[in-house]
Amino acid sequence: MFSCGGISIGFGGSHALFDGIGAFNFLASWAHISSGKDDSDLTLPNHSRDALLHAIYSPNSSRSSTTSSIYEQEHITAIQDLYGIPMQAVASDDRCWETALSRFGQIDPQGGLVLVTLSMKKEAIETWKRVEIKKGKLSKCSTFDVLCAHVWKARVMALKLHPNTNICLQFPVDSRSRLRPPLGENFSGNAFVLASVSCLVKDLLEEPLHCTIQRIQSAKNVITNEYIKLYAKALESLDKFFPSMRELTIITDWLRFPFHALDFGWAKVSSAALLATPVPETAFLMLNLEESGGFLVRIGIEKQHADDLINNFNNLNYISIGSSSSSD
């Protein structure tokens, strides 16, 4: 409780219990009840995992995996891209997945990790979207597509990786409506799967923004009912190992969560911030509650790369280049 009468609420959760959508729905219900509103207006959460398990393991579901190793799931793009990063750099064919992962690309814990908050105005995002669509490069483009592409480029450029280094972008995709039968928006469990994009550093940094956006959009289209079921089964492997690698960027979309609409009984929320990221490579995209229509990016990065990341993110050359090109 602050002297002005305001109050700060902290919340922590585990992905083993629920994902971002489940977490926000919990916060929304908590605020609804705390503010004294009628309980009949609440959307009741579905805590049952029966529908999910039935969809994955029904007789008509996707083929079962024939291997017990997660490193050999060739039909799952997200897993192959992730574990393909170190394996590409391993010269010897007799070295196993686990050995390669334990020795490659690890973030130096002594370097120090800092959490950086970056801001972007709505006008900049809308200009990017308008320019790329007007040039005929894209038929559609979301705010997430633009921010995701820009953050990935800015982070990779800041890390100064070798141009021929294989890099990977991964981002969670909600499977509630993509799974058959659908889980429903009130499903409270963990229902995301990772979409994945992989390329060389030089390809990412040399290509125009719309090409990177097209990669992201194509990765979303891979997340089908069959893919989701195969992904879920693969995660049951006993040898799972999630490495921390500079070559990997994870971007999570929290733009859809209206934190500004939450009211716990002391008026609506005026500010919301992420205190920590689950792994260093993760960036969270959020609405800026202090600037109407603006966006925030909360991202962890090694301290020595923080200034370069900020400068790269604030470099809006895409807009000037795109605008001049479209007027020629």
Catalytic positions, please?
15
Residue 296 near residue 287, CB atoms below 8 Å? yes
Which residue type, as a one-letter code, is found at position 123? E
Reference 255, options 211, 220, 221, 293; nearest CA is 293
Residue 169 phi/psi, 5-degree rounding, is: -110, 130
C-alpha distance from residue 140 to each of 39, 60, 125 (Å):
39, 34, 13
**Torsion 137-139-140-144 (CA) sign:** negative
Q: Largest Cα–Cα distance of the chain, in whole Å?
A: 65
Query: Which 8-state DSSP code applies to residue 61?
Result: S
241-279 in b/e form (b: 16+ CB < 10 A) is eebebbbbbbbbbbbebebbebebeeeebeebebeebee
User: What's the CA gap between 76 and 170, in Å, rounded?
Assistant: 13
Give counts: helices (H), strands (E), the chain: 11, 6
Reference 249, options 190, 313, 293; nearest CA is 313
Query: Which 8-state DSSP code applies to residue 252?
Result: E
Residues with Cβ within 8 Å of residue 184, at least 6 apart in sequence: 46, 51, 176
Collapsing DSSP to helix, strand or coil, 328 comes out as: coil
